[in-house]
Amino acid sequence: MGEDKECEADIEEDKEKPSTSSTSQFEDYTSIFSREEPFGSRKEAIEWVQNLRRERKLVLVTKKLYSGGIGRRGRVKLACERSDTYRAQRIGKFKAAKLEKKTPTLNIGDEWEDKTRPHNGTKKCECYFLIYIKEESDCLWYLHVLCGRHNHETAKYLEGHSYADRLTHDEKVVAGQMTKGNVMPRQILNTLRQRDKNNASTIRTIYNARQIQREREAGGRTQMQQLLHLLDKITICCGIERIMIQML
């Protein structure tokens, strides 16, 4: 019950957030993301929102997620990637001096001081765009747009974006199967784009996915150990084939 009350308080706080006057010049997406029909599952609701945001060249992230449980209902808050403000990270005195390319010194009697990590910029601009997905008593998920307007210009292209160019689970499976079939990365990327016209992945994304798959298959072995492991498998397979031929 405490978690439910805390979540409801967060929702009421988000509803009370005032929109700045500068947001009126940007497009309002409330009618686009509004929907009265419920969803059968949380995954279905999130996928529906993510498909719409890809078509509109938007980037939405999961701000909060309440999985629910016995006697509790699940909730999801999807917000713009530029929501909230930058939170300065506290670091120690010696690490701060290292970042500033200075030689740290510590004299007797000196105290350890916390300093703020220097930063060159941030994408956070307190964007209030927020979508709330809630599970009701009928085990269906309902979508509510708390704020459908951004306070910044939206991206014209999502290719190469740090979040938007990520591969989905199904795309990772397809890329992994094609990699095992010795398909070139460019052909893998073209196949994924044919499957989804809103795919924003780049060739670098495919190379990274291939590298992650190789590391997972290696199971912690080095490149030389993995090579010897594959050679042993080939030798065993060849030996079994010879035995089968001799038996025939």
Among the residue ranges 11-15, 80-84, 113-117, 118-122, the one predicted with the least confidence is 113-117
Phi, psi (rounded to 5 degrees) for 216? -70, -40
Report yes or no: 213 and 178 within 8 Å, Cβ to Cβ.
no
Whether residue 184 is found in the same domain as residue 115: no
- pTM listed for this prediction: 0.63
Whether residue 69 is found in the same domain as residue 2: yes
59 or 163, which is more confident: 59
pLDDT tens figures, 144-188 = 999 888 888 887 777 777 777 788 888 888 998 898 888 899 999
Whether residue 77 is found in the same domain as residue 140: yes
Residue 1 scores a pLDDT above 90: no
Residue 3 scores a pLDDT above 80: no
**Measured distance CA(40)–CA(139) in Å, rounded:** 8
Q: What residues make up the domain containing 44?
A: 1-86+125-156
Whether residue 110 is found in the same domain as residue 185: no
pLDDT tens figures, 176-191 = 889 888 889 999 999 9
As given in the structure block, the two tokens for residue 40 are 């059968």
What is the total count of domains within the chain?
Answer: 3
Percent of the chain with pLDDT over 90: 11
What pLDDT does 199 receive? 83
Report yes or no: 23 and 128 within 8 Å, Cβ to Cβ.
yes
Contacts of 160 (CB under 8 A, 6+ apart): 200, 202, 204
**Measured distance CA(101)–CA(103) in Å, rounded:** 7
